Amino acid sequence: MEDAVILMIFGFIIYIFPTIVAYSRNTLNKNTVFVLNLFLGWTVIGWIICLAMAFKKDMPTNINLEISQKEDT
């Protein structure tokens, strides 16, 4: 009986591993990873997609681009 409980806990941790990674890395899409992992994590492809999203590097959001405009004289 104790072995079954340990196996269930281990399985649950593996199941939510993409969510754990996303929240520990504080990615921008951590809530999306959580929802997709919750509903599609039981499929192997859904779990792999969630894991890839969790490890994906965030693009910087505060890039200041200056566009120089030439004035026609």
- Tens place of pLDDT for every residue, the chain, 73 residues? 899 999 999 999 999 999 999 999 999 999 999 999 999 999 999 999 999 999 998 776 666 656 555 555 5
Residue 40 covered by a domain: yes
The number of distinct structural domains making up the chain is 1
State which residues form the domain around 48: 2-55
Residue 73 covered by a domain: no
Residue 41 covered by a domain: yes
Amino acid found at 71: E
Residue 60 covered by a domain: no
User: Global pTM?
Assistant: 0.75
Residue 31 covered by a domain: yes
Residue 67 covered by a domain: no
Residues 18 and 50: beta-carbon distance below 8 Å: yes
- Non-local (6+) Cβ contacts of 53 within 8 A are 18, 22, 27, 29, 32, 33, 36
